[in-house]
Amino acid sequence: MPTATVTTKGQVTIPVEVRSALGLETGDRVEFVELKKGQFAIIAATRSVQELKGKYRGKRRKPVSIEEMNAAIARRASGSR
């Protein structure tokens, strides 16, 4: 099982076996997704936003206005829903 050590700066070198399995290359980003308390998954965040094109087509009938977006952001920022 591949292991790594955390440096004093909180940095970790991802073992080559893990990088290969995730298809990671220099400059790629990873996401840490909490599965349950104390357990995380490392996800390669290498997909392009272009891959989302059409994925949500038809999910919302009416386009969202800038005002609606700003209101949603403000609600989320204030902690209310």
pLDDT in tens, 8-28: 999 999 999 999 999 898 888
CB-based contacts of 36: which residues, under 8 Å, 6+ apart?
A: none
Identify the bridge partners of residue 33 per DSSP, sorted by sequence position. 41
3-state secondary structure of 19: helix
The structure's pTM equals 0.53
Identify the bridge partners of residue 36 per DSSP, sorted by sequence position. 39
CB 24 within 8 A of CB 14: yes
For the structural domain made of 1-50, what CATH number should be given?
A: 2.10.260
* CA 51/CA 53 separation, integer angstroms: 6
CB 48 within 8 A of CB 62: no
Residue 43 sits at φ, ψ, to 5 deg, of -115, 130
Q: Give 12-69 pLDDT, tens digit per residue.
A: 999 999 999 998 988 888 999 899 999 999 988 876 667 667 766 666 677 888 999 9
